[in-house]
Every structure is written in structure tokens, then in C-alpha cells.
Structure 1
Amino acid sequence: MNPLRLACCLASVALLIAGCTSTPDNPQPLAVGVLAPLSGPDASWGVDAVNGARLAVDIVNDAHPDLPLPLAAGTGLPGRRGARLSLAARDTAGQVETASAALTALAEQEHVAGLVLAESADIAESAASQAQRLRVPLLDARSSDDYLTELGIDWYFRIGPSDSRLTEAAFALLARRGAGSGGITLITESGRGGSSAAVTSLRDLARRAGVPVTLSLTMAAGATDAKRLHDQLAEKPENTVVAWAQTAAGARAVADAVGETTGRPTLVGLGQGFRSLERPDSGAALLRAVPWSADLAQRDPTARLVAELYERRNGKPMSAVAADAFTATMALAAAVDTAGSADPAAIRTALRRTSLSAVQLIMPWDGVRFGDDGQNQFAAAVVEQWQDRGYRLVYPIELASTRARWSSPEPKP
């Protein structure tokens, strides 16, 4: 073969190879996964979680210079030569087994750089152990149970506040009622979230806040004994009830019982059940500790812009679970960019070193920085109350849009 023909053949091979691989000017996209219940009883908020994660990916991929969020100003990941993110969503159906199969598929087939999880504590515990085995970073965007960060799982991270942090905020507000406010009735829903350990923790936090507990009641899981709860409250009514409910049915049953009790005491709701309660139909003056407030978001320029963008794209207001998943996905994207690599171990290391300030978030937190246990140490809680047909922020005082009401003046809708 003459030299000219040989050179042409080599050039053709080189072009063929270049066409089959990414180039510095056209890097391959990196996938991040999201696991949420897209079918079953929790499908509505599971869809919200995926939509929140998708909005975060879109903000990273497309220029949004008006948003002071990480990676929003440009297009793609600058640490990966402008590579775009893609989102791989999988349905957990609210089941441990289904979530496990979905996680395996995302890690071994989709080769995701990291995972965002919006699920219950039971599924989060199982998923954290599996992520450890598969060596893929997992960001928990929803569950708040304290024990999850005590399991010693190096590949598990939680973006939002723990139950202890949420409860501390609620009792800090209760302590402001002043002298002569009386004690509280403590109600816990049985099951994992209402175990004796949880009751002990609630009592200890109440004692530290100087809030006396005069009566403790237990409600069956799923509120199968709601009438019994109402009768117990009627026997010895207090002006304040603090309830812990992990299920939506439990939260609604407590709200109904309190709203129908003589004097209609103020209800402080804790646990996932109350965070998912859209409204107390009984008209109870419900206070609840939450990681995100739609009321506050309307007064924060960045959060308002993101919420408006979310509503335009999805045809409904941004929900708390959408905000949680959005924030977790943004933190994961920032770590992927910092790592400058698709290697999950490098991304895990980058997550450990992540440091986002308050102005880079849509959440009412001091920022994002993960401790050795994987918990975001800067995650905070606010307290909102159902007033005038909506939730209004009442604590911390410097962020409040109105004052807390220590009674239930609203009639049933």
C-alpha cells in the first residue's frame, strides 16, 4: 500500500473512532437517579418529587443567570467541560422490594452518578444499605427519622432536618406561650415512629424547653381507634396537644379529634403524617414543624422564582416534597461538578466536602454541609400554622408573616 493510501485509511479509522466516542467539545451526559412512589397511595407526592428533581436538572443544563443557585448561571457542568445532566426516574410503589429492584437497575444498568430518594424511613433504611453495597451515593430528600444517620452508612446523606431538629423548633415556639399556659397532652401514633423511644425523646425535648407534659396517649397505627382518642381527649382537655403521627390517616384523625374537643385546643403536629396533611378539615388551629414553607417561599426572591418556574412547567404550585427533591438534586449536581468525574467514590468525597450557603438555596436553612454521619448540619425547621384557609409561617419570629394563635377560632369549612 502506498504511503498516501495508508494515510487516508488511518485518517478514516480515526474519524470513525471519534464518531463513536465523546469529544472534549461534546462530553457524554451524566445521569442522576431519583426514586419515588409513582404508583400506589403516595403517587401524587412521588410525582411532585420527580418534577422537583427534573426542574433542578433543567436549571443546571440551561442558563438561568437570574437564579443565584449553584450551576444555574451557565449551561451544563463546568467541572465536566459543560456535560449535561440527565434524570433517570424509577417507581418504588412505596414498597421495599420494588425500591430495591429499582435502585439496582439505576446503579448497574443506568450507571447513575448518584441517587435522590423521596420515600419513607423503612425504604430509606433499606436503600441506604443497598447503596452502600453498590457503592453509589444516596441523598435522602424526605425521611427525617433520627436513627437513619446513626446506622454508620458512609454512602448515605440526608439533606433535610432530622425529627429532633423539627421537634426542637416546635417546642421552642411552645415555650413562648408564657407562664400560666398549662401543660400539654402528648399523643403518639404506635409503630416505628411512635415507639417508646420516640415518646421518651419527645418528653426529654419538652422538659428541656420547659413545657410540662400532663397526659400521654397512644393511638393505634393508621388511627383505627380514632373514637377512643376523641373520648380520651374529652375526659381531660388541655389547651395544647402535641401529636406525633407518621401516617396521613393518623394525622387526620388527631386533627379531627382535637377540632371536636370542647375548647378546641391548639394542636402541634409532628411527623411525616402532619407534614403531608394539606388542611385540617376540623378547623383545628394546627401548628406543624416543616423544612420548607410555601408562605416564606413567596417572600424569598430566589424561592419565589423557582416556585413560579415549577408552577409554569407543571400546572400546580410547588409542594414541600418537590422543594426537598429539588434541593437534594441541586446538591448532588454540585458534588458531581466538583468531583469532575463520574466515579461514584469521587462524588461521595465531593458530597462530604459540599458547602452551599443560604443564598444558594430555596430552603429556609443556613446552607448545606454534611457531617460525618451524612446529616446536613445546616438544615433547619420552621413552624407554620393553619390560619385563614392556608398555612402561615409563625416561627422563627424574624421570618414570620403572622403571630401564632393559641386557640381554634376558625369554624369548620
Structure 2
Amino acid sequence: TLTASAIAEKYGIPFVNGESVAANLTERGFKWFFRTTPIASDIAKIYYDFLTDMKASGVKSDSIAIVHDTTEYGVSVANVITSAFKEKGKAIALDIPYTINATDVQGQVLQLKEKKPDVVIMIAYTSDAILYQKTMQALDYKPPMIIADDSGYSDPSMIKAVGKISKGILNRSSWSVGPAGSPTALIADMYKKKTGDDMDDTTGRAMQAFFVLCDAIDRAGSTEPAKIQAALKATDLKPNQLMMGYKGVKFDEKGQNILASSLIIQLQDGENYVAVWPKGSSQKAPELPYKGW
């Protein structure tokens, strides 16, 4: 996204991004870049508020470890979470980086096992997420709470591969299927029939961004880049016009959706995620501690 959006900016082409959460993407002074998804700072607030609620209910959440890859995504999200928690007077006890597409993460898991944090925040793409879950089982390590940062942990292939040994893993998401017959349930059904896979948060956020762009093109009544750019700047979509759980879509002067938001979901049965937080948007209560297998 960092590279592709720079090319779009050079040629004056509207670029609507639905998934990338690195904070610096909207800090470059670009005029053609728009992002609909919650970003790292939004995510950090969600984690902090969720853990504060859990602590109030008697769940120990003082010692926090962050495990992340060394990509732009992994490093930026880890840094923003660390800074945001520090501002609230809560230090991150352990920061464990690793190289993407790892072949062995025993060292990282053994480090967690030795330090015994109350909460482990996992920032990983799919292959690494699968490897971490398998390694945790092999080394018999079950932290009291694992919160996944979407990405690989939302991928249906991850759930197929290691869902049964990842029971109780928490995840951040803006996607929830909703009750039968609801617009989101209908979209999920159409997607499943078309692809054979269940709709997940990453796919949903990409689709939502595409719908936002379509809406802007419709309002512009043109495929002229400048007219689409003006329509994007004027976007003001309400929750009932969206398939994702955002409070709306409205861009600030940097192109960031100021109404983006997320839920905390949990893989309670090893097969399907359910919304567990916040209370007003949840289907079930969180089940803790983490079960694993």
C-alpha cells in the first residue's frame, strides 16, 4: 500500500484503501489517498478499553506482551499500541519481534512461556499465525489471554488449519455476520456461495472500501479523477449504509475515515468467531481463560 499509493498520488488517481492500518499512510500529505478502515491508534484504544473492562470484571491483565513481525504493518501497530498504553500509564512488559514467513518460532514462544504475561497480543500474517498456534501446542504453552490483531487470525484458512487448537482466541474485527436475513448475513451467504469460504474481517473491509469508491463514482457521475476525488471528500455514509461495523464513513483532511471502529470477537468453538465486546454489540460473553486445545 505504501508503494502503490505513492504511484497513484504521482499520477493523480483516487486510491481508496480498506485494510492497511499503518499509521503513517495518512501522514504523507497525500491528496488522492483515502482509507476507510480503523487504524493502529483506533485499535490500541479498543485493546486498552477491552482490557480495562476485563480487569474490572476480575480478569488479570496487568502484564502484556506484543509479538509482531518486522514488516511495516507489524512494527507500526506494535509501536502505536506501546505508545498508547504508555500514555495511559500502562507499560508493555515484553516486545517480541520476528521475521515474516518464519520457519521456527520456538524461541519466541519459549520467551513467552518463561515470562508468563497475562495477555499476549499477536500481530501476524496467516502462515506465521498458523505456525505460532502449532508451536504453542507443541510446547504446551497457553497464555491466560491471546488477542490477535486481525490479519492472519481472521483468515478462514488459519481457522481450518489450527482453529481446533486455538479455542478461546480473541480477535479484533469490524465484521459480524449478524442475524439471519440481515443485509450482512445475505452478503455473507452470497460470498460463501461464490468463493466456498466464509467472509472474514479483512475481506469485508476490502469490500467496504470498494463500495465507498462505487458510491463516490455514482455521486460524481463521472470517471474523471478530480470529480471522484471531490465526491470522496464529501462522503458521509451512515451505519445503515455499510456492511461493516463502522459508525459511518467520513474522511478528514488526511483521507482517514474518522468514524471507523471495531469489535472484539472470539473463536469460542474453534470454528466460528462470535462478537464478545463491547456489550451493546456482542452476541456472547467472553470465555476466559484461553482454552487452546
TM-score normalised by length of structure 1: 0.62
CA distance in 2 between counterparts of 1:256 and 1:208 reads 34
CA spacing shift, 1:236–1:300, aligned 2, 3 Å: farther
Q: Considering only CA atoms, is the larger Rg found in Structure 1 or Structure 2?
A: 1
CA distance in 2 between counterparts of 1:405 and 1:212 reads 25
CA distance in 1 between counterparts of 2:65 and 2:140 reads 13
- 2:277 matched to 1:395? yes
CA distance in 2 between counterparts of 1:171 and 1:257 reads 27
CA distance in 1 between counterparts of 2:253 and 2:167 reads 40
Query: What corresponds to 2:175 in structure 1?
Result: 292
Opposite residue 38 of structure 2, the aligned amino acid is P
**Which residue of 10, 19, 30 maps to 1:153?**
30
Indicate if the aligned counterparts of 1:366 and 1:378 stay in contact, CA closer than 8 A: yes
CA distance in 1 between counterparts of 2:134 and 2:84 reads 26
CA spacing shift, 1:167–1:299, aligned 2, 3 Å: farther
Query: What corresponds to 1:310 in structure 2?
Result: 191
Query: What corresponds to 1:186 in structure 2?
Result: 66
Indicate if the aligned counterparts of 1:170 and 1:288 stay in contact, CA closer than 8 A: no
Q: Deviations over 1:343-384 (max 9, x none)?
A: 210111011001111001111111111111111111111111
CA spacing shift, 1:300–1:155, aligned 2, 3 Å: farther
Equivalent residues in 2 for 1:193-208 (5 A)?
193-195=73-75, 198-208=77-87
SS at match of 1:268: strand
How far has the Cα of 1:257 moved from its partner? 4.1
CA distance in 2 between counterparts of 1:397 and 1:211 reads 24
CA spacing shift, 1:145–1:332, aligned 2, 3 Å: same
Equivalent residues in 2 for 1:8-19 (5 A)?
none
- 2:135 matched to 1:252? no
- 2:222 matched to 1:341? yes
CA distance in 1 between counterparts of 2:17 and 2:154 reads 16
Q: Deviations over 1:86-112 (max 9, x none)?
A: xxxxxxxxxxxxxxxxxxxxxxxxxxx
CA spacing shift, 1:300–1:173, aligned 2, 3 Å: farther
CA distance in 1 between counterparts of 2:70 and 2:40 reads 16
Percent identity over the alignment is 25
Opposite residue 187 of structure 1, the aligned amino acid is V
Q: Deviations over 1:171-192 (max 9, x none)?
A: 2211112267131222222233
CA distance in 2 between counterparts of 1:333 and 1:220 reads 37
In structure 2, the gaps of 5 or more residues are none
How far has the Cα of 1:149 moved from its partner? 0.9
CA distance in 1 between counterparts of 2:89 and 2:201 reads 30
**Which residue of 30, 39, 42 maps to 1:165?**
42
CA spacing shift, 1:371–1:384, aligned 2, 3 Å: same
- 2:250 matched to 1:369? yes
Opposite residue 190 of structure 2, the aligned amino acid is L
Question: What is the alpha-carbon root mean square deviation over aligned residues?
Answer: 2.5
How far has the Cα of 1:162 moved from its partner? 1.0
Indicate if the aligned counterparts of 2:120 and 2:145 stay in contact, CA closer than 8 A: yes
Query: What corresponds to 2:236 in structure 1?
Result: 355
CA distance in 1 between counterparts of 2:140 and 2:118 reads 10
TM-score normalised by length of structure 2: 0.86
Query: What corresponds to 2:118 in structure 1?
Result: 239
SS at match of 1:132: helix
CA distance in 2 between counterparts of 1:137 and 1:160 reads 16
CA spacing shift, 1:256–1:211, aligned 2, 3 Å: farther
Query: What corresponds to 2:288 in structure 1?
Result: 406
CA spacing shift, 1:341–1:255, aligned 2, 3 Å: same
How far has the Cα of 1:316 moved from its partner? 4.4
CA distance in 2 between counterparts of 1:230 and 1:410 reads 14
Equivalent residues in 2 for 1:109-120 (5 A)?
none
